[in-house]
Structure 1
Amino acid sequence: MSHTTAPSPETRKWSVVGPGLVAAATGVGSGDLVATLIAGQRYGYALLWACIAGTVMKIILVEGVGRYTLATGNTIFHGWTSLGRWTTWYFAPYIVIWGFVYGAAAMSASGMALAALFPGTPLLLWAVLSGLIGFGLTWLGQYKFFEKVIAVLVALMFLTVVGIATLSLRNLPEILTGLIPTLPEGSFVYVLSLAGGVGGTITLAAYGYWLNEKGWASPPWMKVMRLDNAVAYVVTGIFVVAMLIVGGDLLYSANIAVSSGDRGLVDLADVLNDRYGQGMASVFLVGFWAAAISSVLGVWNGVSMMFADFVGHLRKLPKDHPDTRAGGKYYRWYVLWLTFPPMLLLFLGRPTALVIAYGVLGAFFMPFLGLTLLLLLNTSRTPREWRNGWLVNTLMAIISAAFVFICVSELVKLFS
C-alpha cells in the first residue's frame, strides 16, 4: 500500500495489530511490571485507578505524536529540531547513554526470566542470547515480520498474566474499590510514578516511525491511527491492571515482600509456585519473558529508526534518504550499539556515573515529550485542522506537569 492511499472502509472500522500495539508492548517492560507489582504489594488494589490514569495519559501523548506525524508528514525529530538547537543538545547524549544502559538492562531482564524457567542455567548466557535474538530479528528492519512477532508476544503476555489475575476475581468487590481515586499515606509520588510507567519513555516518540513503516503517513489515516492507538493501550492497560491485581492478591493480603528490580518478578514466581504449583509459576515466567523480549525487539527497531533520523538531520540528508530508514546504515549502527557494547556491562556491572547520567536524562524525557508536543500541536508547525483543542491542551498540560513532578522526584532520589 502506498503512503498516500486512503484506508479502505474495512480498515477504518477495525485495526488492532498495528503500530500502537508495537509501541504499547515495547513500553511495558519488566521495570513497569515490578513497579506495578510492588504497588499491589504495598497498597493492595487502592492504586488501580492510577494504572487506568496512566493508560489514558499514554493514549493522549501517543495520539499527539501520531497526529503530528500524519498531519505534517514529518517525523517527531523533525518537529523537535524546528523548536531550536536545544532539543538536539538534549537528545544527542540521551539517545547514546540511554541505549548503552538500556541495552544491558533489557537483555538482563529477558535473561532473568529464562534463567528462572530453566533453573541451574547461567543468567549471563540467557541475557547475551536475548540480545542476539533482538539483533537478529531487527537487523534487516523488516516491519511486517517484526509486527507479527510482537503480536504473538503480546498474546503470550496477555493470556498468561491476565489468566493468572482471573484467579483473584473472587475478590472482585474489593478490587472495584480501587477505581475510586484515593491516596494512601506515603503514596503520592508513587502514584505519579505508577501512572507514568504504563508503557514507555522514548518508545512513545517512536510511534510515528512505526506509522511510516506501516504505510500510514497522511491525514486520511487519522481515524485508523486513533483507533489503533486506543485499542493498543487499552490492551496493555488491562495487562498492567492484571499485574496490580496479582500483587494485591498474592502479596498484600499475605504480607509478602518482593525485591525491587527485575528480581521481584522471579520472587513472584516463587509465590505462585507455593500457592498454585510449579506449572503456574512457569506460565507466569513465560508471560514475564514475553513482556521483556518485546521491549528488546521494540527498542532495537523503533529507537534505531529514531537514531537514523537524528543522524540524517545532523547531516542534512533528504527525508527519504535510504541511510535514514529502517535497515539503512545509521539504523544498523544503533542496532549494533544496543546489542554489543552493553554486553560489557553484563560482565562488568553498571558504573555508578553512567547509571546516574542515565537516570537524569531519562527523568527529563517524559516532560520533554509532553512540553514539546504542546509547542508543536499549538503552532503553525501543525496545520490548523489538526492542532490541539482546549480539552486536549488541558489534559496535556496536566500530564506534563505530572511528569515534571516525577522528574524532580527522580532527581532528588538519585542524588540523595
Structure 2
Amino acid sequence: MNDNNETRAPSMEEPSQSAPPSGTAARWKLIGPGIVVAVTGVGAGDLVATLIAGSRFGYALLWAAVVGCIVKIALAEGSARYHLATGSTILEGWRSLGKWTYWYFGIYIVIWGFVYGGTAMSATALPLAALFPDVMPFWMWGALSGIAGALFVLFNRYSAFETVMKLFIGIMFVVVVGLAILVMPNLGQAVTGLVPTIPEGSAIYTLGLIGGVGGTITMASYGYWVQAKGWRTPAWMGMMRLDNRVAYIATGIFVISMLIVGAELLYTAQVTLAGGDRGLLDLDEILRERFGSFVSTLFLIGFAATTFSSILGVWHGVSLLFADFVRQVQGGEQAKGARQDLEKTPAFRFYVLWLTFPPMLLLTLGRPFGLVIAYGAFGAFFMPFLALTLIWLLNSQRVPAEWRSGWLSNGLLGIAAALFVVLCLNELARLIG
C-alpha cells in the first residue's frame, strides 16, 4: 500500500515522510495546512454576516456559529482523509463516480474563478482605499492586490505560502479578538447564546450562518495542501486531524469575536450595517467615533489581512484543483500514476492568471449588486456537491475499510449535505426573484 501511495500521490514540495513525530511539541510545530484553509475560507463577507447576526439578534445565534465550525471540521477532514487513505486526489475520486462530475466541476471552476476574482480584488480594495484615500482609484487598488497575489503564488512554493498565511492569521487574531475584548462582552448573555434557539424571521439566516463561515471551494483544496506539506500516507491521519481541529477552533474564535462585536457595539445601539463587504467600512466609522483613529486603523489593517489572505489562498488552492483537473483530462487512466508538481504545470499558471486578469473587467463596474448575487449563487452550488460526493466516496470500497466514515462522520456530513442543499435552493429562489 505504501508503494501505491508513493506512486500515485502528486509531488509538490516537501518530501513525504513515513510517520509524524511522536512528541506533542513537534506535532504542534507542524500545524499549517488547516490554518491555510481556515484563513482562506474566512473572508470579509463571512465577518460581515456574523456582525449582522450579532446586530440583529444579539447573542441568540452564537450556537449556530459554533455548529458551523463543527460542520466545516467534518468536511475538511473528509477531503483530506480521502487523500491520505487512498493516495489519490479528490479529483481522481470524483472521476471514479462518472464523467458527469467532470462536466460539473470543469464548467463550475471556470465560471466561479471569473466571478470570484472580481469579488476578491474588490473586497481587498475597500480597506486599502480607506487606509490610503486619494492615492489611486478604487479599481487600481483591486487590480494591484490581484497582481500581487498572483506574483507571490507563481514565484513561491508551498512552504513560503504557508508561512505568510500564518502571519495573516496572527494579524487577524490580534485585531478581531482585540475588538471583542475592547467592547467588553456580556459573558452571561453570551453563554445563553449557546442554547439553540431560532428567533422569529431568522431561519434562513441561521442556516446561512452555519453554512457560510469558513466554507468555500478551498475546502476541497485541503487535501492538496496536506500533500504539499509532505503528509501522504495514512500514518499522518492523526496529525491531519489535529491540524484541522486547531484551525477550525481558531475560526470559531474569529466568528464568536465578531458576533460579540455585533451584539455589544451594534445590537444595543440598533445600528444597521450595509450588506456585503462594505459593511466593514460602516463598522470602521463606528469604531473611529467610539475609540478613535488608532483602533480604526488597526481594524482596517485586519480587514485588509482578511481579504488579501483569501486572495492568496484561492489563487494557490483552487489553481491546484484546476491543475489536477487538467491532469486528469489529459492523462486519462495514466494520470493516476503521474508524478508531477502541480504548482509547476501550465494549467496551474493559467488558472492563477485567469483569476487575476479577466476579472479586472468587473472592477470597472464598482462591484455591482449583480456581481454580489452571482457570487453567492455560484458559491451555493459547490458545497452540496462536495458534501454529497464525500459521503459517496468515503463509504465506498475506494477507501480501505479502516478509513471509511463512521457514524459520527456520516452524521456530520449528512447534516452538511442537507444544509447546503437547502441553502442552494434558497439562493436559486433569491436569484430568480
Give me the TM-score of the superposition, normalised by structure 1.
Answer: 0.96
Corresponding position of 2:15: 2
AA aligned to 1:72 is: T
1:167/1:58 Cα in 2 relative to 1: closer, same or farther (>3 Å)?
same
- Equivalent pair of 2:153/2:316 in contact (CA under 8 Å): yes
Q: 2:342 aligns with which of 305, 325, 328?
A: 325
Residue 96 of structure 1 deviates from its aligned partner by 0.4
AA aligned to 1:401 is: A
Corresponding position of 2:247: 232
AA aligned to 1:279 is: F
Distance 2:194 2:371 in 1: 39
Residue 205 of structure 1 deviates from its aligned partner by 0.3
Distance 1:351 1:89 in 2: 29
Residue 208 (1) aligns with residue 223 (2): yes
Distance 1:191 1:353 in 2: 24
Corresponding position of 2:92: 78
Distance 2:339 2:370 in 1: 36
Which deviates the most, 298-307 or 41-50? 41-50
Residue 18 (1) aligns with residue 39 (2): no
Corresponding position of 1:95: 109
> What secondary structure is seen at the aligned counterpart in 1 of 2:16?
coil
Residue 380 (1) aligns with residue 394 (2): no
Identity %: 56
Distance 2:205 2:109 in 1: 26
Distance 2:275 2:368 in 1: 19
Distance 2:429 2:59 in 1: 28
1:349/1:91 Cα in 2 relative to 1: closer, same or farther (>3 Å)?
farther
Distance 2:304 2:311 in 1: 11
Deviations 1:222-259 (A, max 9, x none): 00000000001101210111111111111111111110
**1:150-229 correspondence runs (5 A):** 150-229=165-244
Q: 1:283 aligns with which of 298, 307, 313?
A: 298
Please, what is the CA RMSD of the aligned residues?
A: 1.8
> What secondary structure is seen at the aligned counterpart in 1 of 2:344?
coil
Distance 2:107 2:376 in 1: 12
- Equivalent pair of 2:139/2:366 in contact (CA under 8 Å): no
Residue 324 of structure 1 deviates from its aligned partner by 6.1
> What secondary structure is seen at the aligned counterpart in 1 of 2:335?
coil
Q: 1:33 aligns with which of 42, 47, 59?
A: 47
1:188/1:15 Cα in 2 relative to 1: closer, same or farther (>3 Å)?
farther
- Equivalent pair of 1:25/1:295 in contact (CA under 8 Å): yes
Corresponding position of 1:305: 320
Distance 2:30 2:253 in 1: 15
Distance 1:345 1:354 in 2: 8
Corresponding position of 1:259: 274
Residue 392 of structure 1 deviates from its aligned partner by 1.5
- Equivalent pair of 2:73/2:248 in contact (CA under 8 Å): yes
AA aligned to 1:156 is: I
Distance 2:409 2:311 in 1: 31
Corresponding position of 2:361: 344
Deviations 1:202-227 (A, max 9, x none): 00000011011111111000000000
Corresponding position of 1:118: 132
**1:43-82 correspondence runs (5 A):** 43-82=57-96
1:283/1:407 Cα in 2 relative to 1: closer, same or farther (>3 Å)?
same
Corresponding position of 2:421: 404
**1:269-280 correspondence runs (5 A):** 269-280=284-295
Residue 415 (1) aligns with residue 419 (2): no
Residue 93 of structure 1 deviates from its aligned partner by 1.2
Structure 1 unpaired stretches of 5+: none
Residue 30 of structure 1 deviates from its aligned partner by 1.0
Residue 352 of structure 1 deviates from its aligned partner by 8.4
Distance 1:14 1:152 in 2: 16
AA aligned to 2:20 is: P
Deviations 1:340-399 (A, max 9, x none): 111111114568887766544421211111100000000101110100012221221122
Which deviates the most, 101-110 or 354-363? 354-363
- Equivalent pair of 1:30/1:291 in contact (CA under 8 Å): yes
Distance 1:132 1:223 in 2: 37
1:90/1:151 Cα in 2 relative to 1: closer, same or farther (>3 Å)?
same
Count, aligned residues: 416
- Equivalent pair of 1:323/1:330 in contact (CA under 8 Å): no
- Equivalent pair of 2:287/2:295 in contact (CA under 8 Å): yes
- Equivalent pair of 1:32/1:198 in contact (CA under 8 Å): yes
AA aligned to 2:82 is: Y
Residue 5 of structure 1 deviates from its aligned partner by 2.1
Structure 2 unpaired stretches of 5+: 1-13
Which deviates the most, 343-352 or 247-256? 343-352
1:66/1:173 Cα in 2 relative to 1: closer, same or farther (>3 Å)?
same
Residue 322 of structure 1 deviates from its aligned partner by 6.8
- Equivalent pair of 1:202/1:303 in contact (CA under 8 Å): yes
